[in-house]
Amino acid sequence: MGQFRIVRRKGAAQAFVTRAFLDEDAEARLTDGARKLRPSVWNSGEQPWVIDVFVPFGGADDILQTLRKAVFLGKKVKMLQRSPDGDGVAVVEW
């Protein structure tokens, strides 16, 4: 299904990223607090989302920009992050 990517540099794993292409209903559920996606919705639409990012050695911005070009083909990508006030989450687009 291609829903994850392990990014390697010099043969070593540097990042693990999961992604989904969501429809409007799945986006609404995710942004309204549903933190688990049913398997049937991971590829339900056209909107790219980054679901999980694990980058233990830093460099997340560079890795995400590389994935945007290589995996998401330059499309606008969405992801959730902690809101600026620390209370809840916010949608980030890049």
Q: Which two tokens stand for residue 70?
A: 């290589």
| Predicted local distance difference test score (pLDDT) of residue 74 | 81
User: Nearest to residue 73, comparing CAs of 19, 1, 11, 27?
Assistant: 19
- Under DSSP, the state recorded for 15 is E
Q: Which two tokens stand for residue 67?
A: 């994935």
Rounded to two decimals, the pTM is 0.86
For residue 8, name the pLDDT band (cuts at 50, 70, 90): very high
- Cα(58)–Cα(55) distance, integer angstroms: 6
Q: Which of 14-18, 35-39, 56-60 comes out lowest in average pLDDT? A: 35-39
Domain that holds residue 14: 4-93
- What's the structural domain count of the chain? 1
Q: Is it the case that residue 2 has pLDDT exceeding 90?
A: no
Q: Is it the case that residue 35 has pLDDT exceeding 90?
A: no
Q: Is it the case that residue 12 has pLDDT exceeding 90?
A: yes
pLDDT above 70 as % of the chain: 99
Q: 29 CB contacts (<8 Å, ≥6 apart)? A: 37, 41
